[in-house]
Amino acid sequence: MVLAGEAPPIYQPPVLRTGARRDLETRAITFTISGLKRRGVRFRLAIQTLARTGIIVIRGAAPPQTVKTLAQMADETWDTIAALPKGEVLQDVILNRDQDRMLRGYKALVESHKPVINLRHGDDEGMMDIFHPENLAAEHHHLVLECLHEDLVGELARKAFGRTLEVKCRNLYVNRGVNKTRLYHCDGEKAKVKSFVYLNDVSSFGIGPYCYIKKSHRDRRLRERNQAFNAQHNLNKHEYRLLGGRAALPIFCQAGDMVVSAQHGAHRGHPQTPSARRAVLLNVYEPTIGSKD
């Protein structure tokens, strides 16, 4: 499905799963946090599912009160920045806004010792990307870490992809009516995993669900076909413009649910309606130095 006004000249989009078919496919990749913590049969099945499909859903990763507290932190941060006069700075936070950018480049953002509030432009206009949200408020530091379940997710990723993946960075995405998002793409060819904890319900396309082409992280033929096309048309190497005949699974979640996704597979965030609001806490897991790739 291509939204009106968003299709570039060359784009063969996938079909979006809807209705009963979407529900059925989502159930097949869904687990509970309590079941995974036991490290039993369901844990082993989650490893197999993540390795095979590239994505799993974990229900109830964060308790309701934690979700409420972190969602309020996200809203308050958005309101504070929106009300901040241009040119003013915050004492304990680095703000990248418009042309006033104190830090440039992903490496600098990741290595910052302070939280960085990065306001995106172009694709993802209307998105606030907060690096190191665990340091935004000292009283919420433990809450951020508790609901991310880093040891459990790290073990799932390691056993699914056969290499040690460690936390590279924590982020908080706060979206307000992001109606232009990047097309389907991957985050490079090497193994990379992200976990997303939703701080509000995502129950419709208008809120902007995460969409994933299952098994695309293992589909070398699909990747090489798109890379050849991209090179021919001078497009970004990691975009997936040729997805005709494929199906994407939109992930509808309740607040507190987690999605674990192989980012070397094709994915995108679905565009939002103008009034939509969404907050997502996430982790980036990348191979450790010397890890087999």
CA–CA dist 98, 178 (Å, integer): 17
The amino acid that residue 14 corresponds to is P
Give dist(CA 267, CA 214) in Å, integer.
9
Compute the residue count for the chain: 293
Count of beta carbons in the 10 Å neighbourhood of residue 43: 17
pLDDT digits (tens, 9 = 90+) for 94-142: 998 876 777 888 899 999 999 999 998 777 889 999 999 999 999 999 9
What's the rounded Cα separation, in Å, for the pair 170 and 57? 19
Instruction: Say how far apart CA 278 and CA 113 lie, in whole Å.
Output: 26
pLDDT in tens, 143-157: 999 999 999 999 999
pLDDT digits (tens, 9 = 90+) for 48-60: 999 999 999 999 9
What domains can you pick out in the chain, each with its CATH number? 15-286 (2.60.120.620)
- Give the 3-state secondary structure of residue 262: strand
* pLDDT at res. 38: 97
pLDDT tens digits along 179-238: 999 999 999 999 999 999 999 999 999 999 999 999 999 999 999 999 999 999 999 999
- Written as six digits, the tokens of 270 are 């679905």
